[in-house]
Amino acid sequence: MSTSTLEKRGTFLNRRKKDSRGEGDIAEKGGPVWTIVAWVATLLFFAPVAWMVLTSLHTEADAATNPPTLFSGITFENYGALFDRGVGPYLINSAMASIVSTLLVLALSIPAAYALSIRPVEKWTDVMFFFLSTKFLPAIAALLPIYLLVKRVGMLDNIWVLVILYTAMNLPIAVWMMQSFLAEVPKEILEAASVDGAGVLRSLWSIVVPMATPGIAATSLICFIFSWNEFLFAVNLTATISSTSPVFLVGFISSQGLFLAKLCAAATLVSLPVLIAGFAAQDKLVRGLSLGAVK
Amino acid sequence: MTRTKNNWRIGLMAGAITTALVTTACAGAGGGGAGGGGDSDEESINVLMVGNPQMVDIQELTADTFTKDTGIKVNYTVLPENQLRDKVTQDVASQAGQYDIASVGAYETALWQKNGWLHEMSSFADADSTYDSADLLAPVADSLKGEDGKLYALPFYGESSFLMYRKDIFEKEGLKMPDKPTWDEVAKLAAEVDGAEPGMKGICLRGLPGWGEMFAPLTTVVNTFGGTWFTQDWQAQVNSPEFTEAVDFYVKLIREHGEEGAASAGFTECLNAMSQSKVAMWYDATSAAGSLENPESSKVVGKVGYAYAPVKETEYSGWLWSWNWVMPKTTKKTDAASKFALWATSKEYEKTVGEKLGWSRVPSGKRASTYELAEYKEASGDFGALTLESIQNTDPTNPGVQPRPTVGVQYVTIPEFQDLGTKVSQSISAALTGSGTVKEALDSGQKEAEEVAKNYQGK
């Protein structure tokens, strides 16, 4: 590849990095009022999470008081109870289903998006609509046929069923997001790379993927979160071997006895990996969303 | 600077992945075997159960007792009641056979036994000379038998209902609770103790919609007021004068002297209210007493008195409920599964719970011998004997003043009752909040009940 191609790519990436840090005109237009509004909105959205964490650190009796007590005695006994009830296999199953399905989604959606944006196939808008149409049917309507099919092939309570389902469920969203994002890659850069002798795979790997990193990160995170939190198929298609963490969570709900503190502890623990990953990738997530399908 | 930020973010991402791996690894090391599947070289069974405290206890004790003695590993799946019902129904109806044992209530046991979904358990119990089936309390055991007289479930714990009240508040106010109070007396007492302490209401009664929530206590009130859901020949009676009087009384009592936010108050909310000294009386399950007397979760330990379920036209009006272990016919491990069910409902298991976890946590209400144990007598204090008597005095065949088409105190044992009871309770809940009336609720409920009755009339 020639120096000119790399320079163009570098300029493009630097421009986008600058935008993502809020150093452009947009930041200068905001005033203190908007800052306060943003903070209030943030606190409103964060309040339930903070409440969940606080409740998880109370005893069941304190967690059940009405009106709620904010800062009564702090205890970690609820977290101990989670490990006593064997949260480990559920987390492992969730990680397995989410990570593998996300990798599969990326492996399929990036080439698909490439074929729909950078080198569009014929009637590509129809193809996009077809992808979207697969999300029209409510998941609950598909549950029974899927259950019977999975039972027929003898794969009930098998984690690979969830991997396949989550891949299929997230693929349309991923293709839409990636298509929007790849459409922003300047064609001149790809043409320059082509002139320099780069083939499709080389262009995809050395030009498109680095430029689309925020989009890939955002898409990955969204697919991961959707898979991690999925409950309907997990509760119906798994039993004791392949159950995931959302199924473990609801097991704390009891019609007899107090459970709020333990449920909050379980919810906090199960949310932790997703929260940290989301926090780490927040700028890419926001940019990916603003440049992607939601644009 | 940019490099530092990138490194920081990469580090955070790595931290997220590490957190996921560490939590899963640590959890795996500390796991109690739930959900993890079994090793292929040892026998294992899959158990589906609700997350009630007694079930959590058995999960804790299984590895060191049952598995150690028999070599059978038990994989538990814990789900809320509604999900559990759906899951078992799905599993049995589709013949998937994912579960070898499930915990279900007396209502489902009767229905599923009629559907032919359950293994009979009598032969296993009779074959075990140490099990002592005769020790099971008659009303509980009878409610689990089929028409052939065989047990189709083994009871894990049972309960009736009684009235719980604050002895100290009554003493302070110069009031006395009769041993067998009437509902009229309870209403008067509720008015007297309402406001006895700042923020304290007179009584807590379930107002949360649901056939198993509001209609558990409310159907017992209907029964003792002379009402019924259906006559013996399946004539709907939901807006009959007796049914209406009972619901009017219940709604009026809650609105005048009941708990705050009654329309969303179920068992758990009333337990909180009583434990936190927010109400002076509570009519609910006898199994609530153990929680009220537990210092870890209650602020009223030693201050609660107990009386029979309030009555009007009948001598007794307590309900009857039990959580039981059933063996779906789809299981291929009847031997191991029956061993588990026998162990979990045995005298030995009760002793194990008492010795290892405390005698107040014994899953009682199913065996007469439990109430003869000195340690349990001491732990159950004021409520143990009354619980036993309340269960023994229930009559699921004839819980009211007229013959019934099915067996059951606080429910009608037909599949449609879940939907019917829940719909009517939603309308009554609207009456509680003032957005509807009792008459509207029951007139609408009558139409629903008449539709249901058509399925059974003349059969």
Considering the entire predicted model, what is its pTM? 0.81
Same domain flag for B130 and B146? yes
**Residue A197 contacts B, CB cutoff 8 Å:** no
Instruction: Assign 3-state DSSP to chain B and report helix, strand, coil percentages, each to 5.
Output: 50, 15, 35
Q: What is the CATH number of the domain that holds A165?
A: 1.10.3720.10
Residue A134's pLDDT band, with cuts at 50, 70 and 90, is confident
Residue range(s) defining the domain that contains residue A135: 3-16+86-291
Is A43 within the bounds of a domain? no
Q: What is the CATH number of the domain that holds B86?
A: 3.40.190.10
Rounded to whole angstroms, how far apart are CA atoms B46 and A266?
A: 23
The Cα B189–Cα B329 span in angstroms is 50
Residue B201 pairs in a beta bridge with B279
Is the pLDDT score of A93 beyond 50? yes
Closest approach of chain A CAs to the CA of B241, in angstroms? Answer: 32
Strand bridging mode B44-49 / B73-78: parallel
Hey, which residues does B236 pair with through a beta bridge? B230
B76 and B147 assigned to the same domain: yes
For chain B, which residues score pLDDT lower than 50?
1-4, 10, 21-41
Number of domains in chain A: 1
In tens, the pLDDT along A136-194 reads 889 999 999 999 999 999 999 999 999 999 999 999 999 998 998 888 888 888 888 88
In a domain, A64, yes or no: no
B76: chain A residues, CB-CB within 8 Å = 240
Kindly state whether residues B103 and B67 are assigned to the same domain: yes
Structural domain count, chain B: 2
Query: In this structure, is residue A119 part of a structural domain?
Result: yes
**Alpha carbons A37 and B2: distance in angstroms, whole number:** 29
Question: Mean pLDDT score of chain A, rounded to an integer?
Answer: 84
Q: Is A68 on the interface with B (CB under 8 A)?
A: no
Same domain, B372 and B425: no
A260 inside domain:
yes
Residues B264 and B166 grouped into a single domain: yes
- The answer to whether residues B365 and B450 belong to one domain is no
Residues B305 and B217 in one domain: yes
List Cβ neighbours of A278 (8 Å cut-off, separation of 6 or more).
A221, A225, A285
Name the least confident of A221-235, A240-254, B13-27, B351-365. B13-27
In a domain, A240, yes or no: yes
- Say yes or no: B340 and B439 in one domain: no
Flag whether A91 is in a domain. yes
For chain A, what percentages of helix, strand and coil (3-state, to nearest 5) are there? 75, 0, 25
Same domain for B180 and B123, yes or no, is: no
Q: Does B23 touch chain A (CB under 8 A)?
A: yes
Measured CA to CA, the distance from residue B205 to residue B29 in angstroms comes to 44
Q: What are phi and psi of B122, to 5 degrees?
A: -60, -40
Within-domain flag for B24 = no
8 A C-beta contact, residue B450 and residue B440: no
* CA–CA dist B258, B280 (Å, integer): 10
Which residue would you say has higher pLDDT here, B188 or A257? B188
CA distances from B28 to A89, A216, A270, B23 (A): 6, 31, 14, 8
Whether pLDDT at A39 is above 80: yes
Kindly state whether B59 is in contact with chain A, defined as any CB-CB distance less than 8 angstroms.
yes
- CA distance to partner chain A, nearest, from residue B145 (Å): 25
What Rg value do the Cα atoms of chain A yield, rounded? Answer: 23
Q: Which of residues 120-179 of A touch B (CB under 8 A)?
A: 147-148, 151, 156-157
In a domain, B12, yes or no: no
ipTM, 2 dp: 0.74
Do both B172 and B285 map to the same domain?
yes
Helices of type H across A85-199: 88-117, 124-133, 139-152, 159-182, 187-195
Determine whether the interchain pair B51/A254 forms a contact, defined as Cβ–Cβ distance below 8 Å.
yes
Torsion sign over Cα A168, A170, A172, A175: negative
Return the sign of the alpha-carbon dihedral for residues B210, B216, B219, B221: negative
In a domain, A52, yes or no: no
Q: Based on the fold, state whether residues B326 and B312 are members of the same structural domain.
A: no
Higher pLDDT, B283 or A207: B283
Residue B363 domain boundaries: 44-152+321-383
Burial class (CB in 10 A: 0-12, 13-18, 19+), B422: middle
3-state secondary structure of A235: helix
Same domain, B262 and B147: no
